[in-house]
Amino acid sequence: MDEILNVFSVEAREQLEAMEAGLLQLEEGDRDPETINGVFRAAHTIKGGAGVVEIHSVEKFTHVLENVLDRLRNGEIEVNGDMISALLLGCDHIGTLLDMVASGETEPDDEVRRAGEDIAEQLRPFLGAKAAEKANKVTVSDADVQRSDREGRMNDCWHISIRFGRNVLKNGMDPLAFLRYLLNLGEIAHLTTLTDAMPEADAMDPELCYLGFEIAFRSHASKEAIEHVFEFCRDDCDLHILPPDSKLEEYLLLIDALPEETMRLGEILVKSGALTREELEAGLRRQSGEGVGAGDTAAAPQLGNILIQQQSVQPELVEAAATKQKAVSEKKAAESSLIRVHADKLDQLIDLVGELVIAGASANLLAKKSGEASLAEATSVLSRLVESIRDSALQLRMVQIGETFNRFHRVARDVSRELGKEIELVINGAETELDKSVVEKIGDPLMHLVRNAMDHGIESPAARAAAGKPTAGRVELNAFHDSGSIVIEVVDDGGGLNKDRIQAKAIEKGIIQEGETLSDQEVVNLIFEAGFSTVEKVTNLSGRGVGMDVVRKNIAALRGSVDVKTEMGAGSRFTIRLPLTLAIIDGFLTGVGKASYVIPLDMVVECIELADTSVERDYINLRGEVLPFVRLRELFEVSGKQPARENIVVVQYGGQKAGIVVDQLLGEFQTVIKPLGTLFRNMRGIGGSTILGTGEVALILDVQALVSQCAAAEEQLAHATHGVRRLESHGAAA
């Protein structure tokens, strides 16, 4: 797909999202004119963009939506549920058309075309006769441009007279911006600023606009294109555009129509090169003569009226014909603070920063070895800078999760309608940031969880009423940061998971054996097993065969985890934990024998000395708490003699604490995560590798796996000793 189509389709999708969000707000009773305007503008921008890149299917279809929205905006029709449904379907259809564009087809096939016609048909009741008529007028072309036969005049400039409306500034528009934008179409040969409309200082309101301009504009653009520049303020301002080489009379009419004095305007026109002095004088003489000849002063205003009439037909024509050239200045202004960057470039930058971190570490090490104080100082400054660069580079990739969450408003709406349930979606922590690549990959699993919650979790209103709950079900989406991870929760107040049914189903599917005793949590976790689905009736929302096992697999692929807490009759809570970033982390470097291991620093709680190394137990009493630990030396079978003193790094993950026993604590270390080869993919306890300043490789510990291993061992032990455990006081020093 070529570049411009690509840009168009990205932008159009953004606009579609905005449209959808706006429509949902309208349906919820929001009657803010700005919301309606926003939706209209989005449709308008899509249509304009489609026109520019010549995707007529999108352009034509969006035009229908736009007509409905326009009537809505003008208060000619009222918002109602059917209309919003039809408009939302329209949004979907535009999405479908965009998909086709992305796959290289510019013309829809018959099926899609029919779908589009159906939607258009649904929208027809909302289109008044007037709009339909207006739509037919699209073909009316540019206003007649009359060329004069004035001899010997070579004036190739348009003449633009504009008096900005008083409220332009208050409406957030700046005349300066429009004029600057004009420069995209051509060259301003001469510009005169008029401040005549400005009252005395005391009467002047600094927030009103009193400016007017006479502009000689050299351009090959059409009149329509020039008018478009002022589109956003034209309701508000007095705009006259005369084509190059207009008849002298037209200029005279213009002078009449403008508020300033005739002579002054005449001078301006002469100065800007539109008229010669002789022409002006002759013209004015003739006109005043005619005026007297006609017997009264009514002649002049009449002429003015004709002009105004002529021009006042234009706005409508232009608006109806507004299918081309939608490079809109207002949008430009909003965009200027953002830069679109290709994701690949960003990835490349992060890669380079990663290399920089490694190279920096190596320089640092050499500097320390050399013993030169000034060199060490220089490298330490350097490494601080590298750290900042790393942080800001990673920050570039961070996006707020809110956008992903907002998609679910639509889901909630559709499910409510389809299943006859009342569902309220509550979003918390939409501003929580996480890595863009994580956001992209979490969308589908999240969609599955949310649909499950709405489809299976929330009961029908009747069942809810019977259970003494409010009829409207509530689904919460929460996001927050927690010790180096981001936590996303999907909470519903529905019926909860039915443990008996899960167990029965698991036995039926042969996942567990009959008579096997499982803890409650183990039963609940069965839903993540492959090929598990408890609802007999397969709806078209969830239960499509992709089960919770896929959700878990997808999340695990992001180095995350998912678990569920549920209470019969009160609802369930799915908790997803994900690492904040996939590229570089702050690590804590430790040593066992000759090998080095990195523990993600965010998970480290404290370090303590393991004084009595001879104990065979693998738990200690940490200030009255049982702290299970693993010995890395044993776990990874590191050779070499056990040193006299060992250390415990206390880590925390998902509310569980565990200890990791190492020989040495080597301090903080910026860690660039290098993925392990596919050969090691299934290895437990190792999350990746990194390169140290010395060029040696260090392994990054997968704390999550180690902690759950500890927890499992502890549970086993607890079972073995029937839950009774004797705690010995242990020489643990902080």
Partner 1 sequence: MEFTTQTAADGATRMAIDGDLIIYHADEIKRRLIDGIRGNEVFELDLSRVGEMDSAGFQLLALAKHESRQIDHTLRIVGHSPAVREIIEFFNMVAFFGDPLVIPAGEHA
Residues that bind partner 1 (CB under 8 A): 169, 174-176, 179-180, 190-193, 195, 198, 200-201, 204, 206-207, 209-211
Q: Which of residues 91 and 268 has its CB atom nearest to partner 1 in the complex?
A: 268
Q: Which of residues 165 and 445 has its CB atom nearest to partner 1 in the complex?
A: 165
Tell me, rounded to whole angstroms, the distance of Cα 50 from its chain centroid. Answer: 21
Cβ 195 to partner 1 shortest distance, Å = 5
**What type of residue sits at position 539?**
T
- Nearest to residue 630, comparing CAs of 640, 620, 621, 622? 620
Q: Which of residues 173 and 527 has its CB atom nearest to partner 1 in the complex?
A: 173
**DSSP-based three-state secondary structure for 312:** helix
Q: Which of residues 201 and 334 has its CB atom nearest to partner 1 in the complex?
A: 201
Consecutive H or E run containing 610: strand 604-610
Q: Which of residues 174 and 238 has its CB atom nearest to partner 1 in the complex?
A: 174
Q: Which of residues 21 and 194 has its CB atom nearest to partner 1 in the complex?
A: 194
- According to DSSP H, which parts of 103-204 are helical? 110-123, 129-136, 175-182
Q: Which of residues 204 and 385 has its CB atom nearest to partner 1 in the complex?
A: 204
Cβ 283 to partner 1 shortest distance, Å = 25
Neighbours of 352 (CB within 10 A): 12
Q: Which of residues 179 and 700 has its CB atom nearest to partner 1 in the complex?
A: 179
How many residues make up the chain in this entry? 734
Q: What is d(CA 584, CA 681) in angstroms, rounded to the nearest whole number?
A: 19
Cβ 239 to partner 1 shortest distance, Å = 16
Neighbours of 111 (CB within 10 A): 8
Q: Which of residues 181 and 669 has its CB atom nearest to partner 1 in the complex?
A: 181
Cβ 144 to partner 1 shortest distance, Å = 31
Cβ 229 to partner 1 shortest distance, Å = 15
Residue pair 553/696 in contact by the 8 Å Cβ criterion: no
Q: What is d(CA 386, CA 254) in angstroms, rounded to the nearest whole number?
A: 64
Neighbours of 316 (CB within 10 A): 12
Q: Which of residues 174 and 476 has its CB atom nearest to partner 1 in the complex?
A: 174
Instruction: Look at phi and psi of residue 588 and say left if phi exceeds 0, alpha if psi is from -120 to 50, else beta.
Output: beta
Q: Which of residues 111 and 200 has its CB atom nearest to partner 1 in the complex?
A: 200
Neighbours of 72 (CB within 10 A): 19
Cβ 259 to partner 1 shortest distance, Å = 17
Cβ 234 to partner 1 shortest distance, Å = 17
Cβ 281 to partner 1 shortest distance, Å = 24
CA 313 vs CA 20, 143, 307, 310: distances in Å: 33, 9, 10, 6
Q: Which of residues 195 and 388 has its CB atom nearest to partner 1 in the complex?
A: 195
Paired tokens of 713: 């061992």
Q: Which of residues 209 and 415 has its CB atom nearest to partner 1 in the complex?
A: 209
- Nearest to residue 57, comparing CAs of 112, 121, 19? 112
Residue pair 211/168 in contact by the 8 Å Cβ criterion: no
Cβ 170 to partner 1 shortest distance, Å = 8
Determine how β-strand 238-242 pairs with β-strand 625-631: unpaired
Determine how β-strand 584-592 pairs with β-strand 664-672: antiparallel
Q: Which residues pair with 561 in a beta bridge?
A: 577
Instruction: Look at phi and psi of residue 651 and say left if phi exceeds 0, alpha if psi is from -120 to 50, else beta.
Output: beta
Q: Which residues pair with 573 in a beta bridge?
A: 491, 565
- Nearest to residue 423, comparing CAs of 478, 487, 491, 479? 491
- Nearest to residue 638, comparing CAs of 619, 618, 662? 662
Cβ 212 to partner 1 shortest distance, Å = 11
Q: Which of residues 154 and 176 has its CB atom nearest to partner 1 in the complex?
A: 176
Cβ 190 to partner 1 shortest distance, Å = 7
- Nearest to residue 734, comparing CAs of 610, 642, 630? 610
CA dihedral 491, 464, 541, 29 (to 10 degrees): -80
Paired tokens of 183: 């420069």
Cβ 180 to partner 1 shortest distance, Å = 8
**DSSP-based three-state secondary structure for 32:** coil
Neighbours of 132 (CB within 10 A): 11
Q: What is d(CA 579, CA 687) in angstroms, rounded to the nearest whole number?
A: 12
Q: What is d(CA 647, CA 620) in angstroms, rounded to the nearest whole number?
A: 12
Q: Which of residues 182 and 361 has its CB atom nearest to partner 1 in the complex?
A: 182
Paired tokens of 472: 């409207």
Q: Is the dihedral of CA 106, 111, 116, 117 positive or negative?
A: positive
